[in-house]
Amino acid sequence: MAGGISASDLSIQLNSVSGLGSEGVGVIYQKDSDGNPVASSIEFVHWVGVNSGTNTITLTDTGDRGLAGSANSAQAHSSGDTFEVWIHSNYFLRDWALINHAQDGTHDPTTILRQMTLMGISGASGLRGDMIVSIIDGIRAVAQSGVSGMRGFILSKKLNPVFTVRGAVSQATTTIAPLLPLPQSGEWAFAAVISRLPVSGSSLLLDINKNLSSIFDAGNRLSIPGGGTYASTASLATKAFAKGDFLTLDIDNPGGSDLTVILGE
């Protein structure tokens, strides 16, 4: 330190402020004859401004003096005392450790991943699985069963679930895609379906269920007429959903190929 301070001073003059950020936590202490910190002199301070012209750091108020980890509350220090930035359990050590980590020290990949694909293997039938995924941007869960192709769903931050069915849709079924749990509440505005190839036969008829009950009125399910590739509707009998609800997709009348079914908020 280039100058002494009292227990109430809010400006600290240093020999140099080179390398200091505009805000941070530092420690002031005296050294003993061996160059070690005198424990009773240790004081942590929180600075909120740096003046490179005068080599001073500034504090907001006395609440920025004598922080946790200090030997006592704010105290006076003399010119020549040491000011440093330490890796300390009360400050930077915990903050640093929590970058890309959970509280228990394990890695938290969701802080760095933009997309995650979860897949499981079950015998000769290929990829399959019922996967429960918390709502995080870009997480995608995919399952595949037999020759009918890959099936799955996508979750986005707005919770617009997307069921995907790859391959020809050749038969009615209630197990076309994995059950999809909903981790938050909201309200949908529309449902839509796209088929890569024109629908053969009279029509493709789909049903989306919330907690095993259709979200459509009996005569108003999502349908692409024969020869078409797209349909959408805002006529949903059930629009609201809550955390803990789940969705399933049924094929009531087959047709089309490589389907994408979306519920939009």
Mean pLDDT confidence for 124-129: 41
| Domain limits, the chain | 11-97, 112-264
Answer whether 226's CB lies under 8 Å from 200's CB: yes
pTM (two decimals): 0.43
Which range has the top average pLDDT, 29-33, 126-130, 131-135?
29-33
Give one word for 41, left, alpha or beta, with left for phi > 0 and alpha for psi -120 to 50.
alpha
List, for residues 70-102, the tens digit of each pLDDT value: 988 899 999 999 999 876 555 554 444 555 555
Mean pLDDT confidence for 137-164: 52
Note the pLDDT of residue 19. 86
Note the pLDDT of residue 243. 86
Per CATH, which fold does 112-264 belong to?
Jelly Rolls (2.60.120)
Note the pLDDT of residue 125. 41
Helical ranges in the chain per DSSP H: 92-97
Note the pLDDT of residue 246. 92
φ, ψ dihedrals at 11, nearest 5°? -130, 130
Note the pLDDT of residue 91. 56
Through-space distance between the first and last CA atoms of the chain, rounded to whole angstroms? 58
Note the pLDDT of residue 24. 86
Rounded to whole angstroms, the Cα distance separating 65 from 75 reads: 8
Task: Quickly tell me which residue has 């955390």 as its tokens.
Answer: 243
Written as one string, the DSSP assignment of 131-197 is ------TTEEEEEE-GGG-EEEEE--TT---EEEEEEE--S-BS-SS--EE--S-EE--EEEEEEEE
Closest among 257, 197, 209, 262 to 233, alpha carbons compared: 262
**Between these two residues, 206 and 115, which has the higher pLDDT value?**
206
Mean pLDDT confidence for 47-62: 94
Q: Is residue 144 over pLDDT 70? A: no
Rounded to whole angstroms, the Cα distance separating 193 from 263 reads: 9
List, for residues 14-43, the tens digit of each pLDDT value: 999 998 888 888 999 999 998 889 999 999
Note the pLDDT of residue 247. 92
Q: Is residue 148 over pLDDT 50? A: no
